[in-house]
Amino acid sequence: MATTAKPEARTSTRAWWVAGVTMAALVAAAGFRSSTGALLEPLEHEFGWSRATTSGAVSLNLVIYGLTAPFAAALMERFGVRRVVALALALVAAGAGLTLVMTSAWQLWFLWGVPIGVGTGAMALVFGAIVANRWFVRDRGLITGVFSAASSTGQLIFLPAIAHLAHGPGWRWAAGLVAGFALLLVPVVLLVMRDRPSDVGQVPYGAPESYAEPPVVRDGPGPARLALTTLREISHRWTFWALFLTFWICGWSTNGLIGTHFIPAAHDHGMPETTSAGLLALIGIFDIVGTIASGWLTDRVDSRYLLFGYYFLRGLSLLVVPTLLGPHVQPSLFLFIVFYGLDWVATVPPTVALCRIHFGLEKSGVVFGWVFASHMVGAGVAASYAGWIRQGLGDYFVAWMTAGGLCLLASLMCLSIPRARRSGDPALEQVAQESAQL
């Protein structure tokens, strides 16, 4: 039975507290996931492991991280956001803590792949999308953008500290930092986070007083079955495949290509690695601005047109990258860095919005979970593909052209998504109707 909650006035404070804790968890998860790159060389030096061994553990971490998302969303729908996130943080703390006593490569693969991969995957962008959908009606796109930007914020906050510890006192200090911070967040999540506004007698931020929350189904299918059943249901619709394929290309052109190969590609053109690494950090800084701005636009502009613009401009920029790289940072290359940073994950807020609009508020978390999984698979394929191109042909030119062409194709796929007549959220539709009557 639907529950009528109390007025909006009592909602705003708790909604923003929940958003703050969500932001902290997302920042932490991004920091934990990015820490692996800074630990490769110290681990290789101490244990004598090859780069294939350590990078294989990272690849396993990325794959499990992505594939966890749809099942984590189903777990949150069944058992609640609060419990799942607290458990995910505990898993990360356990995984990072146990690396302090590991002695074999298989232990590295297991710890980075299972506890840390599953734990960070459960706190991926799907987590932010569910919180934004449940706790916010007004400014929902903006909040989604803020949550999306947390991935860059986490890297900016944690990666320098982790790298400094790993190459200073030792990699165990870096792993200990990850474990300690994750463990400290568990009680914060348990104290502040709630699954839905109705749990504290409130309505989502910006919802009318008459808002009726959808009934919570506790005796439905298990999380794994829910995730797979949802996939079977939505796989018959082109909208899902359009979002799935475009986000696969998004992962290909960001984490897979730029995130993995920008530094060695720039080095091929004579640029020092420290300089190219600094440029990659700048991308993360501008990503924060771009993603929040994209969230603001998502509340005001058709998400299909936003995605068309993002992918189209990204594709054009990738096609000209080979002409911009050189031993020095020219104004044209700096302009590319600024633009690519603004566009890095600007695709997330409109993609989340389209999942909600076309598949409904309650199902959208699991749907976006599958879409997000495609992003990480695309990133993994691109990382291997670009490496193969570099090894076989001697440069990255074909890799840049492939990514640019795929982004242009993605822009056209976005226009093929049909326009939905309803927003997917009764509360948002009621707000729009009341505003129109004023």
293: which residues sit within 8 A by CB, 6+ positions away? 145, 342, 346
State in Å, rounded, how far the first CA of the chain is from the last one. 31
Tell me how far apart the alpha carbons of residues 75 and 97 are, in angstroms, rounded to a whole number: 25
| DSSP label of 255 | I
- Residue 329, pLDDT > 90, answer no
Mean of pLDDT over the chain: 81
What does the pLDDT average to over 237-243?
A: 94
Q: What pLDDT band is residue 401 in, cutting at 50, 70 and 90?
A: very high
Residue 196 φ then ψ, to 5°:
-145, 155
Looking at 235-272, list the stretches that DSSP marks H as alpha helix, in order from N- to C-terminal side: 238-251, 260-268
Residue 416 confidence (pLDDT) above 90: yes
Least confident range from 77-81, 166-170, 184-188, 344-348: namely: 166-170
Average pLDDT over residues 80-98: 91
State what percent of residues in the chain have pLDDT above 70.
84
Provide mean pLDDT across the span 213-234. 71
Most confident of 78-82, 244-248, 358-362, 428-432: 244-248
Instruction: Give the Cα separation of 435 and 206 in Å (integer).
Output: 12
Q: Whose CA is closest to 68, among 114, 131, 33?
A: 114
What is each CA distance from 87 to 80, 120, 366, 398, in whole angstroms? 11, 11, 19, 43
pLDDT at 9 over 50: no
DSSP string, 271-289: --HHHHHHHHHHHHHHHHH
Q: Which domains does the chain have, with CATH numbers?
A: 11-195 (1.20.1250.20), 223-432 (1.20.1250.20)
Which one is predicted more confidently, 15 or 86?
86
pLDDT at 37: 63
Q: Following DSSP, what letter does each residue of 302-324 receive, concatenated?
A: -HHHHHHHHHHHHHHHHHTHHHH
- For residue 14, give Cα distances in angstroms to 17, 193, 198, 199: 5, 9, 11, 11
Strands (E), 84-166: none
Residue 434 pLDDT exceeds 60? no
422 vs 412, higher pLDDT: 412
pTM of the model: 0.70
Tokens of 74: 């189903």
Quick one: average pLDDT of 381-385?
79
